[in-house]
Structure 1
Amino acid sequence: MNESLNQMKKIEKGDALAQSQNLIEQNIASLREIFPALLVEDGGGGYAVDIELLKQLVGDATLSTADEKYGLSWHGKRQARQIALTPSTGTLLPCPDESVDWQDSNNLLIEGDNLEVLKLLQKSYNRKIKAIYIDPPYNTGRNLIYPNDYQDGVQAYLEVTGQIEGGNKLQSNPESGGRFHTNWLSMIYPRLKLARNLLAPDGVLIVTIDDNEVSQLGVVLREVFEEGNFDHVCVPVIHNPRGVQGKNFSYVHEYAYFVYPAGTKAICDRKIEDENVDWSHLRNWGSESERSDAKNCFYPILVKDGTIIGFGDVCPDEFHPRQTEVVEGISYVYPIDKAGVERKWRYARQSVEAIASMLRAKQTSYGYEIELGKTFGLYRTVWNDKRYDANDNGTGLVGDLVPGSPFTFPKSLWAVYDSLLAATGNDPDAIILDFFAGSGTTGHAVMELNKDTGGNRRFILVQLPEPVEDNKKFPTIFEVTKARIKAAGERIKAQSPMFTGDVGFRVFKLASSNIRAWEPEPSDLEGTLLANAEHLVPGRTEQDVLYELLLKLGLDLCVPIERKDIAGKAVHSVGGGALIVCLADGFTTDTVEAAANGIVAWWKQLAPAVDTRVVFKDSGFADDVAKANMAAILHQNGILDVRSL
């Protein structure tokens, strides 16, 4: 006999058999079966009853429609909107030692919570991003959702990632929970609001998603990127031809939303490879296709040995040839169909030579047919190229580049490549942002695209350092991102030695501000004043402070920075003199003049095209007299914007 049948199962506290019938659960189950629309998420993981809808279902005629409008509503939407408006108190710390080609690269790889990073990028990259490509969590229930119920986002981020002790943790989002869709919507909504601010006037947003949230995402996108001002196209992408077994269907596709300004040519035409050229008749057919409809489109095309060698003159009205006339081995082909009807070519005689390279002569049973090869065309609304298979060009590729990678199904490189080509094909200097970077496919695609087109596109990748369990080589997802971009760049250089484009990146990490907040201790005001005499956080470097200034002043994080020693002090010029920074200590009334005159001389040499701002460290001055003298000398020489921190 089966041993398990002889075992006696103990009834534990909390088991259904140890308590009375849960009438609330029974009522909820009944309502979900009969009137599922009545139950709405209550914000605490449970359900509430929509009283207004209940009234409507029982025929209450006193209902008001004043608050009805098209859109998507969920518990927490107002808070999600407010979170997007709350400024960040953080900064991005430069990490040259973790970077590749720090000095010369214009690519950015940022470790941090993308919500806070998007806030920090607002000034420097407002309306400058040509393409945003994101592959957010698909809300399958296993994905980790970053909590948004906090005031200090940087503090919560540091707690979540274990950099400081705290109560915030990454959380799973089970489908059985009452906030399954709400959690996901509250996560994506503020990020999309911030992303819109960064998108250029002709920029394109591309968001990939699966069936779990495709409907909700479509409505949210239409709210953030409102219809009328933006066009929205949802493209199914066949990314897994083998299929993923579902309950009743095998899923072979996902979706890519393309959102771009209405009325603009934001999506470039696709290039059709030679072996897949779309051929069509140069001869017109259908309505208004006869010779009399455009007489200047009736002329012979000269063919010899199957090759087009020239074009004849427009035929006079009284001339009526056969479809093909042969003279001294040269075939004169006219736009006459196999029924003998005189039609016309699609291009007039004065225009046809400009497209000669796109034409070919094809032998038919009744003579030659002249065909037009279409090498460029509109992208189609279903993408099914075999290159989009994420098994071969995602999982296999990443595993080859980064052995030991924990990614099981990353995006196909070529699906991202074609998306970015569509969005930036006419802008070889585009800035491309991905704030759900994952394995770094977007950065890899940008480098491949530059190699193939000769462009200088830049990427900004943002990735949360989400822990990877039982993986000593890659303790966080960010480490995988970094390793993949480095390996991809090395492979591109090895395979294309003539390519001189940028395959490096600068690493930055989200952290609390370098500037200390004023937090007085009421019981020890004197000690607080002494402790806050230095405004900068202990342990932070000049470089850390310098890059925070770039963010706060709205300068590109890759803007050129020069350093010069003036009167024994390190002075930095940013952007050709747009910003001059000196964070040195020891400015006294005796040393200020030499330093000030040296700064003025360098400023005149740089001759910036914009007004210059000069920034010092407040505690670097011995007293207010030294500080006033510095400002006076700079003002007298034309530098009017002088600040201290």
Structure 2
Amino acid sequence: MDKLKMHSQNMTEANIDKLAELFPNCITEARDEAGELKKAIDFDLLRQELSSSIVDGSQERYQLNWPGKREALLTANAPIAKTLRPCREESVGFDTTQNLFIEGDNLEALKLLQEAYLNKVKMIYIDPPYNTGTDLIYEDDFSEESSEYFQRSNQKDEHGNRLVVNADTNGRFHSDWLSMIYSRIKLARNLLRDDGVIFVSIDYRECANLRRMCDEVFGEQNFIAEVAWEKMYTTKNDSSLVSCCHENILVYAKVATPSCIGFLPRSAEMDARYSNPDNDPRGNWKAIPMYADGERRNGRFKITSPTGKEHEPEPNTHWRYSEADILKLILDNRVWFGQTGNSKPNLKRFLSELREGVKAKTLWSHKEVGSNDTASRELKELFDGRSPFSFPKPTSLIRRMLQLGAESRDSIVLDFFSGSASTAHAVMAMNGDDGGQRRYIMVQLNEPTDEKSDAFLAGYKSISEISKERIRRAGTKIKAASAMTAPDLDTGFRALKIDTSNMKEVYYTPDAVSQDLLSDQVDNIREDRTAEDLLFQVLLDWGVDLALPINQQVIAGKTVFFVDGNALVACFDTGIDEDFVKQLAGHKPLRVVFRDAGFASDSVKINVEQVFKLLSPATEIKTL
């Protein structure tokens, strides 16, 4: 029994709890004056969260630490001036689809998605490159000052794919991998809904470190499970010591609640365990023991059956329910004394009163969710007998995660290590089965394929090409099979590519432009960018969903984009006059954007706000 506090609220503890919601990674343990452990703030780490430069600190504390951790945090928080450029020719159903495929560095993609998808993603699944000593991993530059990183991120695109081999002879073998994943996990957490969950596949090499890292990023209290997936069912006798047949899947919630994780569907075998021997009008039921192990006060008394026979719990056991409650259950015909009425009492648990599903276990057999072989066979069926990707995940495995983490049919699912796009395949297949409208966002680096691989020989020069082609082929197959169950199934995707900003350098560093070059900077937009390029940068800047329907119209000879009806209206043509502005205002858009150099005269630019104030006062106006 808890005691009353008998004192006013401890504001320090309350403030720590508030900070824990914003920065769970800054919560640690420290000893008080009496030497007892208590919850505390890692002020060095909190200062790093609020700083644009590396903060030093040497306070002793309980935490996971490694060389480069602070630089990784700085990298996660540093801004970039990149954009997403639409690529219609690689898309499927560009104008109508709700799905996105982003090609480029996933760290940059996560930063670009922060405003448009903040707190909107229901489930994240990632299968990052494992730290095997030979796998290629993302190598972010942690050696620069923040100003240098900001300048490079804004103005240069010559860093290539930023991939290196993290050989196990490297002194930073674990540190480099941890730094790579840390910044990405931190950014990914921001995108999750409060009831959102993340699943991370990992093997034994970094599982322990990754779990401690996720404890820090999400808060230890939001850990849900560490699942063991049986990836293979045969023994590898060439293994050095023990044949490893499983991988781990770490599961965390943004805020762990009973409703944040779903249930698995009940099987026919499970339902077959229920019967109705007494023809109870409430339907089939199963007998559940009414006693439990151990002694409990007031837990030992006699229960009398309808035939008059008395029953007591066995030695060292007790009844689960109080005497009064058991009498109520007997009156409601919820206690079963057997066909003769003399058997030990059991509780009748009715099938009709159970939840729609069952809780998942932490051991996932290959018979239930597939194996590595299953995944390879799936790819071979799609790619004419070849498997163009190494170590894919089976869609049945990811569908298990979708059942638990994206049970709501309008969920947004993110995978920022797309690989062969198994996640996109699984989302489409699940929508095809239940008629859902789940959406996916895939992110994949344009990583080149090995010139000796089946993928390269088949004509796929990069992993992202394999991802997109897998979605196209799987979508066609699923749509044909789901014509009856999901006639409006979305199997398309908008292809977007990360690129340098549409704006010239002068937009970010005006002081760097000398007086004699000003004439070349009248238009602050790069010459090779289209109006649709500009539109998507506006969507990013304004935090608008990148998958909203876009309608293009010509008004008074000008090209106008209407996003989701009148949610946003954009025109990037030049020669905008006051009559044209009045026509746009007549549509009463929520937001409108023009090109800064697009107005016919300075007077038109000045009068735009007055025109909208008169004709559409609720419209928010911006220029670029």
What TM-score, normalized by structure 1, do the two folds share?
0.74
CA contact (8 A) 2:504 2:526 kept: yes
Report 1:119-518 matches (<5 A).
119-149=111-141, 151=149, 152-153=152-153, 158-161=158-161, 169-228=162-221, 230-244=222-236, 245-260=238-253, 261-275=255-269, 277=271, 279=273, 282-287=286-291, 290=303, 294-295=326-327, 297-298=329-330, 335-336=337-338, 340-341=342-343, 343-347=345-349, 354=352, 376-403=357-384, 404-425=386-407, 427-470=408-451, 471=456, 473-498=459-484, 499-500=486-487, 501-518=489-506
Counterparts in 2 of 1:447 and 1:285: CA distance versus 1, 3 Å: same
CA contact (8 A) 1:282 1:346 kept: yes
CA contact (8 A) 1:291 1:344 kept: no
Rounded to whole Å, the distance in 1 between the matches of 2:615 and 2:86 is 33
CA contact (8 A) 2:157 2:500 kept: no
Report 1:12-23 matches (<5 A).
none
2:595 is aligned, of 617, 625, 628, to 617
Rounded to whole Å, the distance in 1 between the matches of 2:550 and 2:593 is 14
CA RMSD of aligned residues (A): 2.8
- The reply to whether residue 72 of structure 1 matches residue 64 of structure 2 is yes
Q: Matched residue of 1:101: which SS?
A: coil
Q: Write the letter of the residue equivalent to 1:248.
A: L
Rounded to whole Å, the distance in 1 between the matches of 2:532 and 2:62 is 49
Which residue in the other structure is 2:73 paired with?
Answer: 81
CA contact (8 A) 1:387 1:412 kept: no
- The reply to whether residue 109 of structure 1 matches residue 101 of structure 2 is yes
Q: Matched residue of 2:413: which SS?
A: strand
Q: Write the letter of the residue equivalent to 2:273.
A: W
Rounded to whole Å, the distance in 1 between the matches of 2:246 and 2:476 is 32
Counterparts in 2 of 1:507 and 1:523: CA distance versus 1, 3 Å: closer
CA contact (8 A) 1:514 1:544 kept: yes
1:85 is displaced (CA, Å) by 0.5
Counterparts in 2 of 1:240 and 1:525: CA distance versus 1, 3 Å: same
Unaligned stretches of 5+ residues in structure 2 = 1-56, 275-284, 292-298, 306-322
Rounded to whole Å, the distance in 1 between the matches of 2:97 and 2:448 is 28
1:77 is displaced (CA, Å) by 0.3
Rounded to whole Å, the distance in 2 between the matches of 1:566 and 1:619 is 19
CA contact (8 A) 1:447 1:502 kept: yes
Q: Deviations over 1:225-262 (max 9, x none)?
A: 0123x133111110111245432010100001110122
1:529 is aligned, of 515, 518, 522, to 518
Rounded to whole Å, the distance in 1 between the matches of 2:398 and 2:528 is 40
- The reply to whether residue 601 of structure 1 matches residue 586 of structure 2 is yes
Counterparts in 2 of 1:577 and 1:533: CA distance versus 1, 3 Å: same
Rounded to whole Å, the distance in 1 between the matches of 2:568 and 2:512 is 40
Mean Cα displacement is larger for which, 190-199 or 384-393?
Answer: 384-393
Rounded to whole Å, the distance in 1 between the matches of 2:472 and 2:515 is 51
Which residue in the other structure is 1:555 paired with?
Answer: 544
1:201 is displaced (CA, Å) by 0.5
Which residue in the other structure is 1:54 paired with?
Answer: none
Q: Matched residue of 1:282: which SS?
A: strand
Q: Matched residue of 1:183: which SS?
A: helix
Q: Percent identity?
A: 36
CA contact (8 A) 2:290 2:345 kept: no
Q: Matched residue of 1:558: which SS?
A: coil
Mean Cα displacement is larger for which, 515-524 or 413-422?
Answer: 515-524
Q: Write the letter of the residue equivalent to 1:343.
A: P
CA contact (8 A) 1:235 1:256 kept: yes
Q: Write the letter of the residue equivalent to 2:460.
A: F
CA contact (8 A) 2:154 2:501 kept: no
Q: Matched residue of 2:116: which SS?
A: helix
CA contact (8 A) 1:290 1:344 kept: no
What TM-score, normalized by structure 2, do the two folds share?
0.76
1:291 is displaced (CA, Å) by 5.2
1:141 is displaced (CA, Å) by 1.3
In our comparison, the structure showing a higher alpha carbon Rg is 1
Counterparts in 2 of 1:143 and 1:342: CA distance versus 1, 3 Å: closer
Q: Write the letter of the residue equivalent to 2:190.
A: N
1:284 is displaced (CA, Å) by 3.8
Mean Cα displacement is larger for which, 132-141 or 400-409?
Answer: 400-409
Mean Cα displacement is larger for which, 534-543 or 397-406?
Answer: 397-406
1:170 is displaced (CA, Å) by 1.7
Mean Cα displacement is larger for which, 632-641 or 98-107?
Answer: 632-641
Q: Write the letter of the residue equivalent to 1:112.
A: G
1:96 is aligned, of 88, 103, 108, to 88
CA contact (8 A) 1:92 1:509 kept: yes
Rounded to whole Å, the distance in 1 between the matches of 2:377 and 2:558 is 53
How many residues of Structure 1 are paired with residues of Structure 2 in the alignment? Answer: 510
1:147 is displaced (CA, Å) by 1.8
Unaligned stretches of 5+ residues in structure 1 = 1-64, 162-168, 300-312, 316-332, 359-373
Rounded to whole Å, the distance in 2 between the matches of 1:157 and 1:428 is 39
